[in-house]
Amino acid sequence: MRFRFRGVAYKHFSQAGSLPPKAAKLSSKIDALNLRVQSILCRKLFELRQSQAISNYRHINQYQRSIKDGSRNCASAPSSSCSFSGQGDQGTNVAPSSHQASPKSCSASAHSPTPSPASSTGSSQSLPPGLVAIPQNVEALYKQQLSHLHNLMWAHHNWQLSDKKLKSDDKPFFDHLDRLCGALNFNSGIGELSVYVITAVDWLKLMHGNKVV
């Protein structure tokens, strides 16, 4: 729903310059409504994965602490005793999975060449400067967490942007909507959003001579 609504809105905005004056006046209202819808849907997507995001954070934080502890140990130990231990025996690959996401302790310095986590023998392989080897399951955690935080970031960004793009001429329209449907806010539910959007679209059609903008 989110991507379909966004696609329709962007198609409208790309044609806004060629719209009749009466229709062009509605563009800012549609723009603000579109951003509010995206914001609430992004927030809802994050909430559906919130427990997973919290779990990912704990595992990532544990991994980062183990890296710091390993760096301190390697600073006072022979280089041969510093090794990188991933999931499984001898650095065996672990398929990315949110359910196998608890990284074991790592004793390699984050800034020194480390064995490749893809190695099936656990032998040391030098990495180019600036690159760090991490277990595959930890990499999967980072990617998954980025996806969750992406939704949260855009939820806040789109809501703030909708307020900034709201013109003074549009305020009576949304004030009237708020009085009739209840004020839409960042924490509104999907049911409240649906009623709000359906009502807004009906009004926009009436304002444009009963034609879809």
So what's the pLDDT on residue 11? Answer: 55
Angle 209-211-213 from CA coordinates, rounded to 5°: 110
pLDDT digits (tens, 9 = 90+) for 53-95: 999 999 999 999 998 887 656 555 554 444 444 443 333 333 3
Q: Do 149 and 50 contact (CB within 8 A), yes or no? A: no
Q: How far apart are CA 173 and CA 175, in angstroms?
A: 6
Q: Give the max Cα distance, the chain.
A: 80
So what's the pLDDT on residue 174? Answer: 95
Q: How far apart are CA 105 and CA 157, in angstroms?
A: 37
Residue 102 pLDDT greater than 50, yes or no? no
Enumerate the domain spans of the chain: 22-69+134-212
Q: Do 123 and 102 contact (CB within 8 A), yes or no? A: no
Which pLDDT band holds residue 113 (cuts at 50, 70, 90)?
very low
Structure tokens at 155: 């939820």
| Residue predicted with more confidence, 81 or 162 | 162
Q: Do 35 and 162 contact (CB within 8 A), yes or no? A: yes
197 three-class SS: helix
Residue 103 pLDDT greater than 60, yes or no? no
Residue 99 pLDDT greater than 70, yes or no? no
Which pLDDT band holds residue 100 (cuts at 50, 70, 90)?
very low
